[in-house]
Amino acid sequence: MSTVEHDQQDTFTTGEALHAALQSGERPPRPGALSTAMTFGWRGMLKIKHVPEQLLDVLVTPVLFLVMFTYLFGGAVAGGTGEYLQYILPGILVQAVLFTTVYSGVTLNTDMTKGVVDRVRTLPIWRPSPLVGAVLGDCVRYLIASAMTILVGIALGFDVEGGLLGAVAAVALVIAFAFGLSWVFTTLGLIMRTPNAVLNAGFMAVFPLLFLSNIFVDPATMPAGLEAFVDVNPISHLVTATRDLMAGSAAAGDVLLVLGEAAVITAVFAPLTARMYGRTR
């Protein structure tokens, strides 16, 4: 057999083997929306595994704010650090988690600027999967921030009067609200050009809402105009419900109000984010 015939025979044999490998089984079914969303959520967890420094904000920030405000202002505001700790810890819990929601927009913007979104578009999956998965993955960060705040508070002397059930219900309510708020920042992540711009704009938006609330002081001590704003601030509603759940005296109406506000935010900004995401090139 000549060299040419031998090469042709090898090529034919390789082609047959390749064809057999490609036709060896049925084509796998297309993944469902839930499975693809959970896969992208797990992607967020893997980022933390490989770069654990990403957890510094949810591990350190709650401790700093809780210790600083309790021991710097507790005596002046409530007459003692113990009483003020009982008042402020649920508010710090809300603040720690809501600060973290800004990073949902930062992460999305980072994926866009690095070309990850363009690669994901080529996959045969439900189009909003990366968005939903990323937001679901961020809920783990919210849980870590919540646990860190409560554990440090207990170490400082905080009394969870509502018991374990009250603490779990409070954390669940905060995470539900944070899930809705994170869609606001994913929308922002699609509008801004750089991750730093998203971070700066996000904190500029959330800072006034957090500090002009009932997290740190009783609104009754504020001027009438400011008190009126604090009373209608959704974050104040969340803090009130969280505080009452941890104290074991929550009213169903307060909890339902917070859940309704979270649902409205999600209903407005989740479709808006998905629509903008679909149009982004």
The pTM of the full predicted model, rounded to 2 decimals, is 0.83
Find tokens 């954390």 and name the residue. 171
Q: CA 220 to CA 156: how far, in whole Å?
A: 27
Q: Is residue 1 in a domain?
A: no
Q: Is residue 154 in a domain?
A: yes
> What is the number of domains present in the chain?
1
Q: CA 19 to CA 146: how far, in whole Å?
A: 54
Spell out the alpha helix ranges (H) of 192-248: 195-211, 224-232, 234-247
Q: Is residue 23 in a domain?
A: no
> What is the DSSP code (8-state) at residue 23?
T
Q: CA 51 to CA 40: how far, in whole Å?
A: 17
Quote the domain boundaries for residue 104: 32-279
DSSP of 207-218, one letter per residue?
Answer: HHHHHSSSSSS-
Q: Is residue 224 in a domain?
A: yes
Question: Which region, left, alpha or beta, applies to residue 233 given φ > 0 means left and ψ of -120 to 50 means alpha?
Answer: beta
Q: Is residue 89 in a domain?
A: yes
Q: Is residue 15 in a domain?
A: no
Q: CA 161 to CA 184: how far, in whole Å?
A: 33
Q: What is the pLDDT along the chain (281 residues), one digit of tens a residue?
A: 445 444 444 444 565 665 665 555 566 677 667 777 778 777 777 777 777 777 777 788 888 889 998 988 888 777 788 889 999 999 999 999 999 999 888 888 888 888 777 777 777 777 778 788 888 888 888 999 999 999 999 999 999 999 999 999 999 999 999 999 999 999 999 899 899 999 999 999 999 999 999 999 889 888 999 999 999 999 999 999 999 999 999 899 999 999 999 999 999 999 999 888 877 65
CB 123 within 8 A of CB 269: no
Q: At 80, give phi and psi (nearest 5°).
A: 180, 150
Q: Is residue 13 in a domain?
A: no
Q: Is residue 9 in a domain?
A: no
> What is the DSSP code (8-state) at residue 221?
G
Q: CA 65 to CA 93: how far, in whole Å?
A: 10
Q: CA 7 to CA 13: how far, in whole Å?
A: 10
